Structure 1
Amino acid sequence: MREQRDRLTWEYGYEKVPPALARKYAYCEILGPRGPILWDRLILGFVLFAPRTTYPQHSHSEIEESYISVSGAWSENNAAVYSPGSLILNRPGDEHRITTGDHEPCLLAYAWAGPPEKLGDPKMKFAAGRRQG
């Protein structure tokens, strides 16, 4: 990362993300179709969430997603509270929601693996009509 730091950019949203959420998170792709290190079969990066953020229930078609906690507390689907060092795996199509703690930001390293055509245009399917808690 140190050698690529001048080429890294933080992005603030995907299509159809609610404006309130867009102000509470950012992601940085390091390796992947849009990262400074180009690769079409894997995406590696970081995502930063503000305290008291809920990233809505969603899924990824044909993309396997994993997170490693770097700092802060968070929960996925309200199943447990995860701390630094925790690892979570979401298989393609698994619906999941991320909720962060009340007092500190949360930094996660993420990896997406899937077919090049999906990673090049990673549309997320947000669950419609569900109450986010």
Structure 2
Amino acid sequence: MVGMARALSRVSAQLSWEYGYEKVPKTLARKYAYCEVLGPRGPVRAERLVLGFVLFAPRTTYPQHSHKEIEESYISVAGDWSENDTAVHAPGSLILNRPEHEHRITTADLDPCLLAYAWIGPEDRLSAPGMKLSSTRKARMQQGI
């Protein structure tokens, strides 16, 4: 993972970091950024595969969400994080999320977290992936769900 982090630092000026989708919760707006390296919108073009990086600030919770028709995997490059509060993942960890699988990411208290991600799916989905944020626990409880 140290080699991957070093390689990323060498090309970082060529990457375009983005800070959100159409609707981003205020608590998340300036606490993460992502860049697509390979894919429909990346500097290296591909139609059915997206490779990129996502960077989270310490104490960040990326809300519960899922991706329609997109399979997503993460490899930890730096920092500790948890998915759905099931375990703490350190650099070198690999996580696979099947399409429609709801998941939430929480980062550690002190250090930022850098993840490499890969998405596979239909070309039209990868061109405009979006995401479905799940309703909050409070809203689900009020609805009796």
- Please say whether Structure 1 and Structure 2 have the same fold, judged by a TM-score greater than 0.5: yes
Alignment length (residue pairs): 131
Instruction: State how far apart, in whole Å, the 2-side matches of 1:107 and 1:8 are.
Output: 15
In 1, Cα distance between equivalents of 2:40 and 2:113: 25
**Which of the residues 91, 116, 119 maps onto 2:123?**
116
Name the SS for the 1:118 alignment partner: helix
Matched, 1:70 2:90: no
The answer to which of 7-16 and 46-55 deviates more is 7-16
How do 1:1-133 and structure 2 match up within 5 A? 5-130=12-137
Query: Aligned partners of 2:20 and 2:90: how far apart in 1?
Result: 24
1:70-97 residue CA offsets vs partner (Å, 9 max, x unmatched): 0100000000000000000000000000
2-side partners of 1:113 and 1:79: how far apart? 24
> Could you tell me how far 1:6 is from its partner in structure 2?
4.3
Structure with the higher strand share, 1 or 2:
1
Q: Following the alignment from structure 2 to structure 1, what is the Cα–Cα distance between the partners of residues 44 and 130?
A: 21
Return the letter of the residue paired with 1:43: V
Q: CA separation of 1:6/1:129 partners in 2, compared to 1, >3 Å: closer, same or farther?
A: closer
Runs of 4+ in 1 over 2 A off after TM superposition: 1-7
| Structure 2 unaligned spans of 5+ | 1-6, 139-145
Which letter does structure 2 place at the counterpart of 1:99? T
Using the alignment, how far apart are the partners of 1:28 and 1:104 within structure 2? 20
* Cα deviation 1:41-78 (Å, max 9, x = unaligned): 00000000000000000000000000000010000000
TM-score, normalised with respect to structure 2 = 0.86
**Larger-gyration structure (1/2):** 2
